[in-house]
A and B are shown apart, each in its own frame.
Chain A
Amino acid sequence: MITPQNIFRHELIGLHVMVVDSSHAGFIGIEGKVVDETKNTISIEQEDGTEKIVPKNIATFHFKLPSGKIVEIQGNVILARPEDRIKKKFKNFW
């Protein structure tokens, strides 16, 4: 189960996401499904089918969980490889 408490460690691929804040204005407002994740980027498929690659460290995301809740996450919190995030310590972000 993906909950707001363990979303840092859980799978982001497949979730609905929206970029709400970024240091580069062109990234703000990108909305769609997460299709891929690397250490520094998230790639988002928009509704019209185009794919956008957003860097994590400068953006803030709104993730929509399967239960319907919306969670805001700063990109620099999830700055790790997808398989490394399970064991990463998030102490100083709480």
Chain B
Amino acid sequence: MLKIAKERIDILFKLADKEFSEHPERSHRYVEIARNIATRYNIRMPRIWRRRFCKNCYLFLKPGYNSQVRLSKSCVVIRCFECGSTMRVPYIKEKKGKRRERIESHIIKKRTDE
């Protein structure tokens, strides 16, 4: 049952992406149905679709058409042109992981040299 729900969310978002250029109101409706399914069966939104709708007005977002994506202060900033709100998705964890990796590899190198 949960598998069907996940598949349906995926189908709906793909259709929303496809229909946006000609019928934006349809893609907004598909996002609404997908969110209804996710909230009813307690499923997390798939990672690829989590940034594709506004968290304030719940409309479908397509970068370059009704949204803007920028990087600032270790965050992905997504601005919705429909309602004017901004979402911030931090990527500081990835940044710190990279830094740690670099330091560790440096230490290992030193040890092998000794």
Contacts and interface: CB of A to CB of B under 8 A. Distances in A.
B11 A11 contact: yes
Contacts of B94: none
Interface string B22-46: 0100100110010011001100000
B1 interface: yes
- Say whether chain A's binding surface is mostly helix, strand, loop, or mixed: loop
Given A11-B11, A13-B15, A86 B5 contact: yes
Contacts of A11: 7-8, 11-12
Contacts of A83: 33, 36-37, 40
A55 to B, nearest CB: 19
- Say whether chain B's binding surface is mostly helix, strand, loop, or mixed: helix
Nearest to B38: A83
A6 B1 CA distance: 10
Contacts of B5: 86
B7 to A, nearest CB: 7
B48 interface: no
Interface residues of A, number: 16
Contacts of A6: 4
Interface string A2-25: 000010011101100000000000
26 contacts: A1-B7, A9-B1, A9-B4, A10-B4, A10-B8, A11-B7, A11-B11, A13-B11, A13-B12, A13-B15, A14-B11, A35-B23, A35-B26, A36-B29, A37-B33, A82-B33, A82-B36, A83-B33, A83-B36, A83-B40, A84-B40, A86-B1, A86-B5, A86-B8, A86-B37, A86-B41
